[in-house]
Amino acid sequence: MEPNATYTSLVAVGDSFTEGMSDALPDGTYRGWADLLAARLAARTPPVSSTRISPYGES
């Protein structure tokens, strides 16, 4: 990875760990590692679009 590269998209392929299940926020929603990484990238080099490919019950 290039130290000062500009990233514009993030695709996370995973399961419930990627989704953040069992890692509830105070409001009851979930935020997995992919959401945290997307937020950090967006803060540094906006805009970053992100998507998770993690269908429920498939793993």
Question: One digit per residue, pLDDT tens: the chain, 59 residues?
Answer: 667 777 788 888 887 777 777 778 899 888 888 888 888 888 876 677 877 776 666 55
Per-residue pLDDT at 1? 60
> Do residues 20 and 33 make contact, with C-beta atoms less than 8 angstroms apart?
yes
Question: How distant is the alpha carbon of residue 12 from its chain centre?
Answer: 6
Per-residue pLDDT at 8? 81
Question: How distant is the alpha carbon of residue 44 from its chain centre?
Answer: 15
> Do residues 50 and 8 make contact, with C-beta atoms less than 8 angstroms apart?
no
| Contacts of residue 33, Cβ cutoff 8 Å, sequence gap at least 6 | 12, 17, 18, 20
